Amino acid sequence: MTRTSERPAPYWNALSPIGDEMGKRVPSNQSFDFGPYAQILRTLLPRARVIYLYAPDGDLLWSSDGTDSTDLQPTIVDLLESAKANPAAESAGGRQMLGDAPAYTFLLRDELGAVLGVTGILCREATGGSEVPAFEAVERTLAPLLVLVRRDLGQQRVLVETGRFNIADTQELQWLLDVTHVDAPDDGGGDGLQTLLDAFATRSECDLALVHIPGRRLERLSVRCQISAEELETLRDVVGRHLHRVAQLQQRTLIVNKVRDSGVGGLVPFRILCVPLIRRGQVVGVAVAFNRAANRAFANREARMLERLGPRLLEIVDVRFDTTTGLLTRHAFDEQAASLLARNPQGTRAIVYADVDQLHSVNDLFGFDAGDAVLQLIADAWRGQGLPPASVTARIAGDRFVALLEATTLDAARAWAEATRLAIGALVMPERWTGLTLSASFGVATLAPGGTLEHALAGAESACKFAKDQGRNRIECFSMPDTRIAQQQSELRLYRELLEAFEKGRFRLYAQPLAPMWDPSRPVRYEILIRLIDARQQVIPAEHFLPIAARHQLLGRIDRWVFGELLTRLAGCGASLAQTAAMFSVNLSAESLQQPDLALQIGNALVAARVSPTLINFEINENAVVGRIAAAERFLAQISELGCSASIDDFGTGGSSLAYLKSLKVNTLKIDGLFIRDLLTNPRSESMVRAILQIARQLELDTVAECVESREAASHLATLGVTYGQGNALAEPRPLTEILEELVRKAAPLLTEPVARAGLDERVH
């Protein structure tokens, strides 16, 4: 509910010069328009839901939805009373939780400590266990805006009390609102930072505007008049060597209409407006405007415009530029490249992809600070090469760089890459890094008219990987007929699909029955299989992506996902499955077997999911067992104590495992499909199967024949005495959910029969 006051109207209750485009004023004759500030606040704090402005007496002056918050009012009153009782206290506000929604309050004081009001922000509810930002973190984010609000509230009071009002201030604020809502690069191929700088230079009619952030190696220029290269270099030197240092010392806006050159004592023919860019109390850079001495002097209007742009400039820097090198981030690169392709889809372009050689050695030998310094040197060499207009460069990962070269052929891109490679090799290292030499491997690919950035980037990355495989410090070009690089590109695509599958939940569990070969009374068994669903919703079999997962050490992560997902599925129907004596086999990789506490993790997961251990069987490849016999013995003994069973997969290819088989607590041997596929045509395969069956009988183990692809082979295996068969001739893999639904339906009569019998007995008696 909106509250109004009968007290005399305070200084902000004069007639407003502009309409409110966001939220509603309370009361309607208020003059301080908080709407534009609130819009900027939303860009800084996207989770903000409702924004409030309160007067020093606690009355609501403005809210974004036109209503007051009864939940927030007590906090506002307490904050104002505390400030009134102790004017010297540095009370700034705080955070409170209104249910699951965080709310933040900020006390607004003028330079003399007088209370100007309170800003309240009610945010969206935290979902999915997401972390709620602390008050200090939000205060740091909003600090530049809160400074403007405090200053403008104080100045508004002075204007009303003296009867003066400058309508241009409100117009400049509206201009600020317009330009700071530019989220994408402009049609000129800008990067957001350039867009804002150009907008300021045009609005203020200055001759030159410049942003200088040395920590990010960032500099942007907007030139609106004829300036010679010598003059431009002088002005850049003034900014880098003098103005930035002055801004660090004074931390305030500087307007100078006459600048003495300390070298010769003459006058530099430019007027200067310098605004410090401050983050968390530290000056990280400056925004500077220059006017020739013959043009008009800078005034407070231009100063306030540039000051108000400061927070947005820093926001763009933080979001779009890499903290170490100052190049674009991967996200910003993708955005800007997409903009270029949309404007001119028929243009000829090329992608250059670079991977720094042996950067991990630099980190290991000299520390991560040295690694960052190396990346900065390489980035300087990277951007030091002349780029075609509108080209885009970025650091897209730890030691990888990319450039999208506009209007460039494959040969020209290779020449650019070669010049960059030589520049990196020529970098001079400090004495403390004696013996260190730098190099990078490059991949180049064309982005043909109508082509996609994703495919061209994948081609350049594949070519770069091939360059590293061929000895590093070289350049390879991607060519479609090149089968070696094409194969690497396919592997790279699958690797990315794997990573996305973890992030977006694109794995699916299937199950394939293990059919009893000669004894139908044996319990039902299933092997759990994993499938990958790609971005086009196509199913990718495991044999296509598991080798890539093995090369990139992702098998352990896949094992954990499969086991966790299986337990989730079984937890909902465990009681029904207990009546069927079903068993589900899960493959464990050698990577998982290396974890010393693997059995403990499995036991805890079974207890948490309330799944009977008898439902689970673990399959371990024979080569993994042989290569880690001590770990395998320990693990198999531990899961046997839990109540789980175990199988040795692909048995018959390890050879030396026979000597250890008697000490391993396993229940089943799975005969490698190598001996099953040609069982009917190769006597040696049949002899091997007979030998394995003899070993299994002596040790009282069950056997499973893999890859049973014909009824004839199944019949012959049954004659030999194989316990179970697995293959498409017996049963094809199906989604696990279908299998479980089927098992539950079959178990339903078993579960309801005792109840029905009990009811029948009661009727008889």
Position 59 in a domain: yes
User: Is the model's pLDDT at 175 over the cut of 80?
Assistant: no
722 and 594, same structural domain? yes
* Cα–Cα distance measured from residue 236 to residue 285, given in angstroms and rounded to the nearest whole number: 13
Q: Can you tell me the mean pLDDT for 427-431?
A: 82
Position 171 in a domain: no
In the structure, what pLDDT confidence band is assigned to residue 184 with cuts at 50, 70 and 90? Answer: very low
User: Is the model's pLDDT at 761 over the cut of 50?
Assistant: no
Angle in degrees, 0-180, between the axes of helices 35-44 and 167-179, rounded to the nearest 10: 30
Question: How many CB atoms within 10 Å of residue 255?
Answer: 16
Q: 80 near 58, Cβ under 8 Å? A: yes
What CATH code is carried by the domain that includes residue 599?
A: 3.20.20.450
What CATH code is carried by the domain that includes residue 372?
A: 3.30.70.270
714 and 633, same structural domain? yes
Token pair of 423 as six digits: 């520049």
Residue finishing a domain among 305, 320, 335:
320
* Cα–Cα distance measured from residue 218 to residue 368, given in angstroms and rounded to the nearest whole number: 22
- pLDDT tens digit sequence for 498-523: 888 888 888 999 999 999 998 888 88
Locate the DSSP E strands across 124-252. 208-213, 218-223
- pLDDT tens digit sequence for 357-407: 878 778 777 888 888 888 999 998 888 888 888 899 999 888 899 999 999
Q: Are strands 208-213 and 218-223 parallel, antiparallel or unpaired?
A: antiparallel
Question: Within a 13 Å sphere around the CA of 636, how many CA atoms are in the beta-carbon half?
Answer: 23
Would you call the peptide bond into 27 cis, given omega within 30 degrees of 0 as the criterion?
yes
User: Is the model's pLDDT at 161 over the cut of 50?
Assistant: no
Q: 56 near 115, Cβ under 8 Å? A: yes
Mean pLDDT of the chain: 82
Q: What is the pLDDT of residue 118?
A: 93
* Cα–Cα distance measured from residue 729 to residue 708, given in angstroms and rounded to the nearest whole number: 6
* Cα–Cα distance measured from residue 522 to residue 496, given in angstroms and rounded to the nearest whole number: 42
- pLDDT tens digit sequence for 297-323: 998 888 888 988 888 888 888 888 998
Angle in degrees, 0-180, between the axes of helices 736-764 and 555-571, rounded to the nearest 10: 20
- pLDDT tens digit sequence for 701-753: 999 999 999 999 999 999 999 999 999 999 999 999 999 998 888 876 554 44
Residue finishing a domain among 138, 164, 190:
164
Token pair of 529 as six digits: 């299989």
Higher-scoring residue by pLDDT: 333, 129: 333
- pLDDT tens digit sequence for 270-292: 899 999 999 888 899 999 999 99
Q: 413 near 447, Cβ under 8 Å? A: no
User: Is the model's pLDDT at 569 over the cut of 70?
Assistant: yes
Note down the domain range covering 257. Answer: 178-320
Position 646 in a domain: yes
Token pair of 569 as six digits: 């599925």
What CATH code is carried by the domain that includes residue 194?
A: 3.30.450.40
215 and 96, same structural domain? no
642 and 523, same structural domain? yes
709 and 570, same structural domain? yes
For 628, the enclosing helix (H) or strand (E) is: none
Angle at 43 between CA 327 and CA 112, to 5 degrees: 105
Q: 349 near 337, Cβ under 8 Å? A: no
SS3 assignment, position 119: strand
Residue finishing a domain among 480, 514, 545:
480
561 and 685, same structural domain? yes
Looking up tokens 């902000």 gives: 12
User: Is the model's pLDDT at 632 over the cut of 70?
Assistant: yes
Q: Can you tell me the mean pLDDT for 111-118?
A: 80
* Cα–Cα distance measured from residue 524 to residue 504, given in angstroms and rounded to the nearest whole number: 33
Q: What is the pLDDT of residue 402?
A: 96
386 and 250, same structural domain? no
Token pair of 516 as six digits: 């009893």
521 and 457, same structural domain? no
Position 712 in a domain: yes
Q: 708 near 730, Cβ under 8 Å? A: yes
155 and 206, same structural domain? no
Position 316 in a domain: yes
Torsion angle defined by CA atoms of residues 481, 487, 490 and 492, in that order, rounded to the nearest 10 degrees: -120
Torsion angle defined by CA atoms of residues 30, 31, 35 and 40, in that order, rounded to the nearest 10 degrees: -140
Q: 477 near 445, Cβ under 8 Å? A: yes
469 and 529, same structural domain? no
Position 33 in a domain: yes
- pLDDT tens digit sequence for 40-66: 888 888 889 999 999 888 888 888 887
* Cα–Cα distance measured from residue 627 to residue 749, given in angstroms and rounded to the nearest whole number: 47
SS3 assignment, position 215: helix
Position 559 in a domain: yes
Most confident of 16-25, 177-186, 708-717: 708-717
Radius of gyration of the chain (CA): 36
User: Is the model's pLDDT at 89 over the cut of 70?
Assistant: no
Looking up tokens 């989220």 gives: 183
DSSP 601-624: HHHHHHHHHT--GGGEEEEEEHHH
What CATH code is carried by the domain that includes residue 99?
A: 3.30.450.30
- Among 658, 660, 587, smallest CA distance to 629 is for 660
* Cα–Cα distance measured from residue 452 to residue 268, given in angstroms and rounded to the nearest whole number: 50
Sign of the dihedral through C-alpha 290, 294, 299, 305: negative
Q: What is the pLDDT of residue 760?
A: 36
Q: What is the pLDDT of residue 654?
A: 57
User: Is the model's pLDDT at 550 over the cut of 90?
Assistant: no
Q: 200 near 298, Cβ under 8 Å? A: no
Model-level pTM? 0.48
User: Which one-letter amino acid corresponds to residue 431?
Assistant: E
Position 332 in a domain: no
* Cα–Cα distance measured from residue 631 to residue 664, given in angstroms and rounded to the nearest whole number: 11
198 and 152, same structural domain? no
Q: What is the pLDDT of residue 574?
A: 66
- pLDDT tens digit sequence for 741-753: 988 888 765 544 4
294 and 252, same structural domain? yes
- pLDDT tens digit sequence for 249-276: 888 899 988 755 544 444 568 899 999 9
Counted domains in the chain: 4
User: Is the model's pLDDT at 142 over the cut of 60?
Assistant: yes
